[in-house]
Every structure is written in C-alpha cells, then in structure tokens.
C-alpha cells in the first residue's frame, strides 16, 4: 500500500529515491560485443540476431515491401491515431526550428552562427514482446524537422524475423529513411561504427535496456548520444479538489512502466490522501500489469501532505521531476513558479498519458532530477551550430595591439605573432617571459 507522509518527514532525497550511479554489471559483455561488431561487421550482427533474438535473418534491412505490408496490416483506427499524434508532434516541434544569424554592424567585420542539421542519426527502438510506436514518432519527427538526411532506426525482430507493424507504420509516418532488424548493444555498435550493411551515424538516440544504455555510454564520443534515461517519474500536486479516482489512475499510468518507476502525490488534503490510497488498492488489481504497479507503488509510491500549494511547489522545484501534474483549477497561475520540471501538465484534464502519446510536446524527458540542467528531446538535439568570422585588414590592424596584449598575458606569444605576421612584423620573441 502507498504510504502517506507529513511534510518534512522525508528529505528531498528520500521523496524520490534515486540511484545516481549507473549499473556497471554489463560493461565487460557490452565492450566485447562492440569489439566483435567492429571486427566482424555484418557476420557478427547475424550471429547476435540468432543468439539473442532467436531468428535467422537473410537481410538485416527492412524492405520497402515489408513496410507496405505493415501499413496494410495495421488497424485503420490505430494508423489514424498515429497520424494524429504525428501531426501534433510535428506542429509542436516545428516551433523549435532556429535560424542562424549574421552580425554586420561595423566596417570590415562580419561574423555569425550557422545552424546545420546532423547528417545521419540512429534511433534505437526496443522490440521483442513490446512495441513502442510512440518512441519512433517522438525521436524521428524532430530529426526529420531538423533536416537530418539519414534517419536510421534499429529494433530487434521477432523469432519470425519481423518487426511490429505499428512500429513500422510509425517509422513510415515519421520519416525514418532506413530500418534495421538489430537490437541490443550490437545495434548501438553497428550504428556507431558502421558495418557492410549499416552506415554509421553521428548521434544515437532512443530508450533501451541496460545493454543498450551501457553500449550508448561506451560509444559516446565516437558519436553523440541523447541522455541515458533513468526510471520514469511523476509528481502530481493537488489542493484536494481533484477526484481521488483520477489521481490514482494517473499515478498508476506511471507505475505500470516498470517496477522502479516512481509515483508521488503531494496534496494539501489529508482526506484526499486516504482516498487516493484506497483507490490505488481498488484499481491496481484491475490492470493487466498489476504486478509491476504493485511493486512500483509499494516501493517508490508516496503521498506527502503539505499545508499549502506553495509549499508543494517548493518541494517540486527541489525534486525537479520528469513529469509534473498541477492538478489544480488555477494551474496556470503556478506555472511561473515552476523552475525545474521536464514537462508540466496543467489542470485536471492533462494526464501524463496525453503527453506520452499525442499532445505534441516530446515524451523523452530528463529523469532523476536532471531537469535542473537538461531539456526535453527537441529539434535542438538534431542540429549543431558553427560560427564564422571575417575581418578586413584594417579591422584586424585596429585590434592587433589588444590581441598581442591578451596573448602575452596568457604566455602564448605565437598567437600575437600570427597577427603581427599580417603586418610584416615577425619578431624574435625569445626574450619574452616564458610560461
């Protein structure tokens, strides 16, 4: 049963118990898999598919025909829902598109910043018994909007060598350009280093199990990666006016993700706290994933009582939750006070599930308190910036003295010399103070 605590009874760290140290047990195995894929390429990939996915593939790549087949096989209602979600996600993320700038204000000086898409991006999508079409949309649509040329998806196939039709349909809708039937650390290795059939990418994004996360961490630097997500979290704030049945359902939508998921309610109403507690007990047994919910709620579920909403908001800022539901009639009034949260769900009709699937904002959000310094996945994750500068000879002459002084202060005389060389002044600088 979920426990109810008084304000101050728990420290901030205890409210959302987080383990900052990543699990290390897969390091050696993953390093071996990566080395093997680098060495043997496709041959290694086929071997791992047999060993881990129990299939015998003839081609690692999903054919155009398989995609068409998936589109025909997908329920029309589901396809329509994917298209609605994609349209909303596109509409939100296109507002994130940025322009470069140029500064041309002073004679002889031009400088600026260009915004350029990454060329090739890899998206990992978990497979096996589960299927996550929403993951495909949330990762591929911002990449496509950014202008990424090659959007490569990797996901493990079933024993029959197939990917889930809804996942393939989502890939088609989202603008994925290449799809491979590869999973686990071997997929990350193939995306990072390339093989005969997989062309290497510049960045790998998407969720995954311990092996995928460990592999991403190991190839980081060779390619860029998105954040390594920790267990998912929800923090709901109520002033007692939201029905307990609804609050309980929202907490459970988080809890069903996995047994380490965290669901916390902060409420100003002791009566509501007890009702939510009872509702959770009533609703858990009605769910297909009752076992997971039970464990998550018992282990990481908490209800905290505070005197005021202001105090609840203060706690929320210190926790910096991934998902923050402000289950209040005046939710907008509190938004300016929220300093740290991945995504804020305002009012009583914005359940987290709305954001998970089709509201428009991204569902890839900073976990574990990293909302203090990290952001939701966005178009920004698929672009890079490059600066440029031009000076005329006269403009450079004007600042020669300043550059020489600054260079000398840092003991870097050759920096000053490179400017002086433009004005025929290569000097013997050996008498300068060494550093």
Residues 264-323 that bind a copy of itself (CB under 8 A): 283, 285-290, 293
Q: Residues 27, 42, 96, 278: which binds a copy of itself (CB under 8 A)?
A: 96
Q: Residues 10, 71, 110, 278: which binds a copy of itself (CB under 8 A)?
A: 110
CB 352 within 8 A of CB 254: yes
CB 273 within 8 A of CB 267: yes
Instruction: Build a one-symbol-per-residue string for 2-41: x at contacts with a copy of itself by CB under 8 A, - elsewhere.
Output: ------------------x-x-------------------
Stretch that binds a copy of itself, among 52-60, 63-71, 152-160, 332-340 (CB under 8 A): 332-340
Distances, alpha carbon 50 to alpha carbons 39, 152, 155, 178, 357, in Å:
18, 22, 14, 21, 33
Distances, alpha carbon 339 to alpha carbons 307, 319, 325, 342, 373, in Å:
21, 10, 14, 10, 11
Closest to 322 measured CA to CA, from 261, 363, 266, 367: 367
Give, as ranges, the residues between 173 and 212 that touch a copy of itself (CB under 8 A): 202-203
Look-up of token digits 């008498």? 431
Question: Which is the catalytic residue, given 233, 279, 322, 325?
Answer: 322
Q: Which is nearer to a copy of itself, 136 or 182 (CB)?
A: 136
- 25 as an active site residue: the answer is no
DSSP per residue over 365-387, as a string?
Answer: ---TTGGGT-----GGGGEEEEE
| Rounded CA separation 122/264 (Å) | 34
SS (H, E, C) 90-112: HHHHHHHCCCCEEECCCCCEEEE
Q: Which is nearer to a copy of itself, 24 or 51 (CB)?
A: 24
**What is the nearest approach in angstroms of a copy of itself to the Cβ of residue 194?**
14
Q: Which two tokens stand for residue 56?
A: 């015998």
Give, as ranges, the residues between 221 and 260 that touch a copy of itself (CB under 8 A): 221-224, 228, 243, 245-246, 248-250, 252-253, 255-257
Stretch that binds a copy of itself, among 40-48, 59-67, 180-188, 365-373 (CB under 8 A): 365-373
| Rounded CA separation 227/245 (Å) | 34
Stretch that binds a copy of itself, among 93-101, 207-215, 299-307, 308-316 (CB under 8 A): 93-101
Q: Which residues lie across from 180 on neighbouring strands?
A: 61, 154
Residues 6+ apart with CB under 8 A from 253: 234, 351, 352, 353, 356
CB 138 within 8 A of CB 365: no
Q: Residues 7, 27, 81, 161: which binds a copy of itself (CB under 8 A)?
A: 81
**What is the nearest approach in angstroms of a copy of itself to the Cβ of residue 237?**
14
**What is the nearest approach in angstroms of a copy of itself to the Cβ of residue 308?**
22
Stretch that binds a copy of itself, among 64-72, 74-82, 207-215, 265-273 (CB under 8 A): 74-82
The burial class, CB within 10 Å (0-12 / 13-18 / 19+), for 391 is middle
Q: Which is nearer to a copy of itself, 8 or 91 (CB)?
A: 91
Q: Which is nearer to a copy of itself, 298 or 380 (CB)?
A: 380
Applying CB under 8 A, does 407 fall inside the site for a copy of itself?
A: yes
**What is the nearest approach in angstroms of a copy of itself to the Cβ of residue 46?**
26
**How many other C-beta atoms can be found within 10 angstroms of the C-beta atom of residue 307?**
10
Q: Which is nearer to a copy of itself, 57 or 229 (CB)?
A: 229
Question: Which is the catalytic residue, given 93, 257, 323, 363?
Answer: 323
Stretch that binds a copy of itself, among 155-163, 181-189, 297-305, 385-393 (CB under 8 A): 385-393
Closest to 154 measured CA to CA, from 119, 93, 195: 195
Stretch that binds a copy of itself, among 43-51, 77-85, 270-278, 297-305 (CB under 8 A): 77-85
**What is the nearest approach in angstroms of a copy of itself to the Cβ of residue 271?**
19
Q: Which two tokens stand for residue 320?
A: 């910096």
**What is the nearest approach in angstroms of a copy of itself to the Cβ of residue 175?**
19
Applying CB under 8 A, does 349 fall inside the site for a copy of itself?
A: yes
Closest to 34 measured CA to CA, from 227, 217, 239, 259: 217
- 340 as an active site residue: the answer is no
Give, as ranges, the residues between 37 and 66 that touch a copy of itself (CB under 8 A): none
Q: Which residues lie across from 172 on neighbouring strands?
A: none
Residue count, binding to a copy of itself (CB under 8 A): 137
β-bridge pairing 3-6 and 302-305: parallel
**What is the nearest approach in angstroms of a copy of itself to the Cβ of residue 422?**
6
Q: Which is nearer to a copy of itself, 48 or 361 (CB)?
A: 361
Active-site residues, by number, are: 322-323
């Amino acid at each position: 049963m979920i426990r109810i605590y008084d304000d101050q009874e728990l420290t901030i760290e205890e409210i959302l118990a987080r383990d900052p140290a990543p699990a290390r047990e897969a390091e050696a195995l993953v390093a071996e898999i990566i080395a093997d894929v680098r060495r043997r390429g496709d041959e290694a990939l086929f071997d791992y598919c047999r060993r881990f996915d129990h299939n015998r593939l003839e081609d690692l790549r999903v054919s155009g025909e398989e995609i068409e087949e998936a589109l025909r096989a997908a329920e029309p209602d589901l396809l329509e829902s994917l298209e609605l979600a994609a349209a909303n996600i596109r509409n939100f993320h296109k507002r994130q598109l940025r322009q470069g700038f140029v500064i041309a204000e002073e004679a002889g000086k031009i400088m600026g910043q260009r915004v350029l898409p990454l060329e090739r991006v890899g998206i990992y999508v978990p497979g096996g018994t589960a299927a996550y079409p929403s993951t495909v949309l949330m990762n591929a649509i911002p990449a496509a909007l950014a202008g990424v040329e090659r959007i490569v998806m990797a996901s493990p196939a079933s024993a029959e060598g197939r990917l889930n039709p809804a996942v393939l349909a989502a890939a088609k809708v989202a603008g994925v350009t290449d799809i491979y039937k590869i999973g686990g650390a071997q997929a990350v290795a193939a995306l990072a280093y390339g093989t005969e059939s997989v062309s290497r990418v510049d960045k790998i994004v998407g969720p995954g199990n311990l092996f995928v996360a460990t592999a991403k961490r190991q190839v980081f630097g060779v390619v860029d990666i998105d954040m390594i997500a920790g267990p998912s979290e929800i923090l709901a704030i109520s002033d007692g006016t939201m029905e307990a049945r609804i609050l309980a359902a929202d907490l459970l939508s988080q809890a069903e993700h996995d047994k380490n998921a965290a669901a916390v309610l902060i409420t100003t109403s002791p009566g509501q706290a007890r009702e939510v507690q009872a509702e959770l007990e009533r609703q858990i047994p009605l769910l297909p994933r009752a076992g997971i919910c039970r464990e998550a709620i018992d282990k990481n579920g908490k209800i905290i009582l505070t005197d005021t909403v202001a105090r609840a908001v203060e706690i929320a800022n210190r926790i910096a939750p991934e998902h923050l539901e402000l289950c209040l009639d005046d939710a907008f009034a509190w938004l300016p006070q929220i300093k740290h949260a991945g995504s804020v769900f305002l009012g009583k009709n914005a359940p987290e599930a709305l954001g998970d699937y089709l509201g428009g904002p991204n569902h890839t959000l900073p976990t574990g308190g990293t909302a203090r310094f990290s952001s939701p996945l966005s178009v920004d994750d698929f672009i890079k910036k490059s600066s440029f500068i031009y000076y005329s000879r006269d403009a450079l002459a004007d600042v020669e003295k300043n550059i020489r002084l600054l260079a000398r202060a840092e003991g870097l005389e050759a920096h000053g010399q490179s400017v002086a060389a433009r004005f025929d002044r290569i000097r013997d600088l050996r008498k300068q103070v060494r550093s």
